[in-house]
Amino acid sequence: MMRLYEQFQSTEMLEAVDRSSNLDKFENFDQFKKEYGLLDVERIGAFFEGIGALLEQDLIDIELLDDLLGPAMERAWESTKPVIYAMRESLGNPYIFTHFEYLANRIAAYRKGTRHAGSA
């Protein structure tokens, strides 16, 4: 888990997350691709896709995951979600980054239901 955390803290990943903070404001997917490209979305999506697959297979602890990456993952999902949905539609592939979406939904449910009162 700590290697994943270190990978997320890399300059490339942090810059990708920072640049993606306004992606939810695009109006046309083709224009967005032309202006910004998809590298940041793909980098962020691939990282969290792997973590989502690990979580789905119960190979990673959700509490630790939330403690280390939860807020950053939530921010990354909310900012890339519109682009990911547009990618799915444009490419006719509803499975693009579905483990990332699963991860976001599981973390949200965890925070609403099982997190202890007073936890960080």
Distance CA 18, CA 118 (A): 29
Give CA–CA dist 93/107, Å, rounded: 24
How far is the C-alpha of 34 from the C-alpha of 114, rounded, in Å?
42
Q: Where are the domains of the chain?
A: 2-113
Nearest to 48 by CA among 64, 23, 65: 65
CB 111 within 8 A of CB 70: yes
Which tens digit of pLDDT belongs to each residue from 4-33? 777 777 888 888 877 777 666 677 788 888
Q: How confident is the model at residue 117 (pLDDT cuts 50, 70, 90)?
A: very low
Q: 108 Cβ partners below 8 Å, 6+ apart? A: 74
pLDDT surpasses 80 at 46: yes
